[in-house]
C-alpha cells in the first residue's frame, strides 16, 4: 500500500530534536561558551537520534510487535553497547576532544585528561541512553495505539457505509429469484429434493441476515454456505457440471470473518460459463495451517467472449478493500489468469 510522505511529522521531529539540542547547548554553555560546546552537542544529538529511530523503526516493530522479547532485549543491549562505542570513537576526533577539554572545570584544564577504562566509557552515558530508549518506546506505544484507533474508526465507518450494499450483493434478487424458480420447478415435478432445497435456501438467508452480523464465525459456516450455493447452481445446469471441491483438509473451527470467500465463488461461476459441461470447469479447495486459512479456487476461461449478467456480487476490488480493512498485513491474495484458467489464492492469518 502506497503512503504519502508525512511532511508534518518530519517538521515536528526536527523541531523537537532542535529543541533538545538548544537545551543541551544552553546547559553546557554554563561551563564554557556556546561555540566550544556546539561540536559535542551535535555529536550527542546525532547518536541519540540514531538510538531513538533504531528502537522505534527497527527493534520495536520487528521484534516486540512479533512477541520476540528475548531478541528485543539482546537487540537493546547491542544497541546501547554500539552507541557507547560511537561515543568512544568520536572522542578521538580533534574537534570533539578540544570541546570536551574546554568543558572540563577550569581548575582541571591544565591536568592532562586520563583515558578511562572501557567499562567506565560504557557506563558514562547509560542514564541518557536509557532515557532516550524510554522516550522512544513511549512514543512508539502511543503511536501504535493511535494508529489502531484510527483503523478501528475507519473500519467501523466503512462497515456502516457498505453493510447494506454488502448484504444485498451476497444474495441478490437475481440469485434469489433463480433459487425460488428452481424450487418451484422441483415442487411441480414432485421432486424429493424440494424440502431439502427449501431448507438450504432458508439456512442461506438466515446466515446472511443474522449469523453474518457476528464478527467471527467458524469456517464450517462459510463452507456450508458455499456448498448450498453450489447445490443451487447445479439445479439450473443440465447434466453434471465439472465442479471439483476439496474441503477435507480444513479445520472447521477456525474463526473467520463471515461472507469472506463467497464473492470469489460467485465470480468463478459467473465467468467460467460452467453450463458448458464439456469444456468448462471449476475447482476449489480449503486448507488450514494452524490459524492460517488457505482458499484456492480456479475456473476455466471461455475462449470466446460472452455476455455476463450485470447483477453481480461486490466485485474483486471491493473484496480487496475489505481484506485490507479486516486483515491488514495478515493476508495474501493472488489473482492471475494463465493458460485459459483464472486462479485466486487467498491466505488469511486469523490469529
pLDDT digits (tens, 9 = 90+) for 119-130: 443 455 677 888
| Percent of all residues in the chain with a pLDDT value above 70, rounded to a whole number | 82
Cα–Cα dist 156/151, whole Å: 9
The three-class DSSP label of residue 347 is: strand
Rounded distance between C-alpha atoms, residue 325 and residue 284, angstroms: 25
* 105-114 tens-digit pLDDT: 443 343 444 4
Band of pLDDT at residue 260, cut at 50, 70 and 90 = confident
pLDDT for 240:
82
Length, in residues, of the chain: 351
Candidates 3.50.50.60, 3.30.450.90, 3.60.21.10, 3.30.565.10; CATH matching 171-349: 3.30.565.10
In the DSSP assignment, the letter for residue 261 is: S
Is residue 222 scored above 90 in pLDDT? yes
pLDDT at residue 254, as a whole number: 94
- Structural domain spans, the chain: 7-148, 171-349
Start-to-end C-alpha separation, the chain? 22
Rounded to whole angstroms, how far apart are CA atoms 285 and 343? 12
DSSP3 helix / strand / coil % (the chain, rounded to 5)? 60, 15, 25
pLDDT of residue 118: 40
- What is the model's pLDDT at position 199? 94
DSSP 328: T
**What element of type H or E holds 249?**
strand 243-249
User: What is the three-class DSSP state of 297?
Assistant: strand
221: pLDDT strictly greater than 60: yes
pLDDT for the residue numbered 226: 93
Nearest-angstrom CA–CA distance, 121 and 144: 34
Predicted local confidence at residue 160, as pLDDT: 58
pLDDT digits (tens, 9 = 90+) for 54-73: 999 999 999 998 889 999 99
Please give the full DSSP string across 113-168, using - where no structure is assigned. PP---HHHHHHHTHHHHHHHHHHHHHHHHHHHHHHHHHHHHHHHHHHHHHHHHHHH
Residue 267 pLDDT exceeds 80: yes
Question: So what's the pLDDT on residue 122?
Answer: 46
pLDDT of 81 strictly over 50: yes
Q: What is the mean pLDDT of residues 337-345?
A: 89
Measure the CA–CA gap between 223 and 249, rounded to whole angstroms.
12
Higher pLDDT residue, 337 or 93?
A: 337
Closest by alpha carbon to 287, among 243, 334, 251, 258? 251
Q: What percent of the chain has a predicted confidence (pLDDT) above 90?
A: 36
Amino acid at each position: 500500500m502506497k503512503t504519502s510522505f508525512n511532511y508534518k511529522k518530519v517538521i515536528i521531529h526536527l523541531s523537537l530534536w532542535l529543541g533538545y539540542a538548544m537545551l543541551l547547548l544552553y546547559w553546557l554553555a554554563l561551563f564554557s561558551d556556546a561555540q566550544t560546546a556546539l561540536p559535542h552537542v551535535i555529536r550527542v544529538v546525532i547518536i541519540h537520534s540514531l538510538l531513538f529511530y533504531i528502537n522505534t523503526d527497527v527493534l520495536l516493530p520487528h521484534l516486540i510487535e512479533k512477541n520476540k522479547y528475548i531478541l528485543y532485549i539482546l537487540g537493546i543491549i547491542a544497541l546501547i553497547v554500539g552507541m557507547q562505542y560511537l561515543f568512544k570513537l568520536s572522542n578521538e576526533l580533534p574537534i570533539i576532544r578540544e570541546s570536551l577539554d574546554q568543558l572540563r572545570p577550569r581548575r582541571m584544564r591544565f591536568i592532562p585528561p586520563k583515558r578511562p577504562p572501557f567499562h567506565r566509557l560504557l557506563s558514562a552515558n547509560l542514564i541518557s541512553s536509557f532515557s532516550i530508549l524510554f522516550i522512544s518506546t513511549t512514543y512508539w506505544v502511543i503511536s501504535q495505539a493511535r494508529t489502531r484507533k484510527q483503523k478501528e474508526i475507519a473500519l467501523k465507518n466503512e462497515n456502516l457505509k457498505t453493510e447494506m450494499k454488502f448484504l444485498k450483493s451476497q444474495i441478490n434478487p437475481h440469485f434469489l429469484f433463480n433459487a425460488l424458480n428452481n424450487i418451484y420447478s422441483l415442487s411441480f415435478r414432485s421432486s424429493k429434493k424440494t424440502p431439502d432445497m427449501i431448507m438450504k435456501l432458508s439456512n442461506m438467508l438466515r446466515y446472511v441476515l443474522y449469523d453474518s452480523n457476528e464478527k467471527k464465525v467458524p469456517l464450517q459456516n462459510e463452507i456450508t454456505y458455499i456448498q448450498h450455493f453450489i447445490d443451487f447452481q447445479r439445479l439450473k445446469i443440465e447434466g453434471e457440471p465439472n465442479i471439483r471441491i476439496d474441503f477435507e483438509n480444513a479445520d472447521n473451527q477456525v474463526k473467520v470473518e463471515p461472507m469472506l470467500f463467497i464473492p470469489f465463488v460467485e465470480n468463478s461461476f459467473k465467468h467460467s460459463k460452467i453450463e458448458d459441461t464439456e469444456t468448462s470447469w471449476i475447482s476449489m479447495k480449503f486448507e488450514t495451517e494452524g490459524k492460517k486459512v488457505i482458499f484456492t479456487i480456479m475456473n476455466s476461461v471461455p475462449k470466446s467472449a460472452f455476455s455476463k449478467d450485470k447483477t453481480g456480487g461486490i466485485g474483486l476490488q471491493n473484496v480487496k478493500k475489505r481484506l485490507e480493512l479486516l486483515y491488514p498485513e495478515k493476508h495474501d491474495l493472488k489473482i492471475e489468469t494463465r493458460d485459459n484458467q483464472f486462479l485466486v489464492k487467498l491466505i488469511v492469518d486469523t490469529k
